[in-house]
Amino acid sequence: MRYLLILLLFVGCSDSDRKVVNVAVASNVSYVVQELKSEFEKLYPDTEIRITIGSSGKLTAQIMNEAPYHIFMSADVSYPETLFEKGFATSSPIVYAKGELALLSSKERNLSLETLFSDDISKIAVANPKIAPYGKASFEVLEKLDRNISDKLVFGESISQTLSYTLTVADIGFVAKSALYSPKLAHLSKNWIEIPKEMYFPIKQGVVILENGKDVVEVENFFEFLLNENGQNIFKKFGYGE
């Protein structure tokens, strides 16, 4: 059944001459990946980039269960490093971007980290630190603040779900700064602040070519695009650090 599912995932490319590259993408990259895809396909019109978005932990589990991805763009380096050590990736990960955290409110406030402890803040959205690297970084910030607000926390399974919770059910949330550079969220420009980078370990995001993509020219082309000037300029445009 597993192999039938894998086969069905590729059905649909047989009626086209375009080569398909399947890319597993961490949720924080969802805000930039469409532009990466668009710019790459302009350079390589015979290649189609297909994107699957999820938490890094869940995508890693899928890869270990033989999901047919060619490239994995993680929210950290530890997940792709594990895949390499277990024989699912062709090499150790390369850092393609450095993620940064922001504190976002669902409405305009005079924001600071002290806002987290305000009496009018009853729900704080944060990504699950067990499967989401941005959640792990968020908890590093909370540990440095050294005040217990566990009763206020609302957990998202990924950083994109955490953003959704921040804008709907929570008063405030820890989100990927890159999301706030999306044109769809431009109206929130007064609703967020950057969290000082010294409060959490650098979020080094790693990319690997998986065994399914080994020695595939189109896969190598996209991998190189992510790391060259064209790809890196797009990441900078969306607020990723150097």
Q: Which distant-in-sequence residues (6+ apart) come within 8 Å of 167 by Cβ? A: 104, 106
pTM summary value:
0.84
Task: Kindly state the average pLDDT of the residues 86-111.
Answer: 95
Q: What are the residue boundaries of the structural domains of the chain, listed by start?
A: 2-98+202-237, 100-199
pLDDT at 14 over 50: no
Task: Kindly state the average pLDDT of the residues 62-70.
Answer: 97
- Does the domain spanning 100-199 belong to CATH 3.40.190.10? yes
Sequential DSSP letters for 36-62:
HHHHHHHH-TTEEEEEEEE-HHHHHHH
Pairing relation of β-strands 94-99 and 203-209?
Answer: antiparallel
Task: Look at residue 31 in the predicted model and tell me its pLDDT.
Answer: 87
β-pair partners for 193: 103
Are the C-beta atoms of residues 171 and 123 closer than 8 Å to each other?
A: yes
Task: Look at residue 2 in the predicted model and tell me its pLDDT.
Answer: 52
* CATH entry, 2-98+202-237, from 3.30.365.10, 2.40.50.140, 3.90.1150.10, 3.40.190.10: 3.40.190.10
Pick from 16-20, 158-162, 213-217 the range whose average pLDDT is largest: 213-217
Task: Look at residue 186 in the predicted model and tell me its pLDDT.
Answer: 86
Pairing relation of β-strands 203-209 and 71-73?
Answer: antiparallel
- As given in the structure block, the two tokens for residue 71 are 């490239």
Domains 2-98+202-237 and 100-199 fall in the same CATH topology:
yes
pLDDT at 176 over 60: yes
pLDDT tens-place string over residues 184-202: 888 998 999 999 999 999 9
Task: Look at residue 45 in the predicted model and tell me its pLDDT.
Answer: 97
Cα of first residue to Cα of last residue in the chain, in angstroms, is: 43
pLDDT at 8 over 80: no
Task: Look at residue 120 in the predicted model and tell me its pLDDT.
Answer: 92
Task: Kindly state the average pLDDT of the residues 9-29.
Answer: 75
**Cα 86 to Cα 36: distance, rounded to the nearest angstrom:** 29
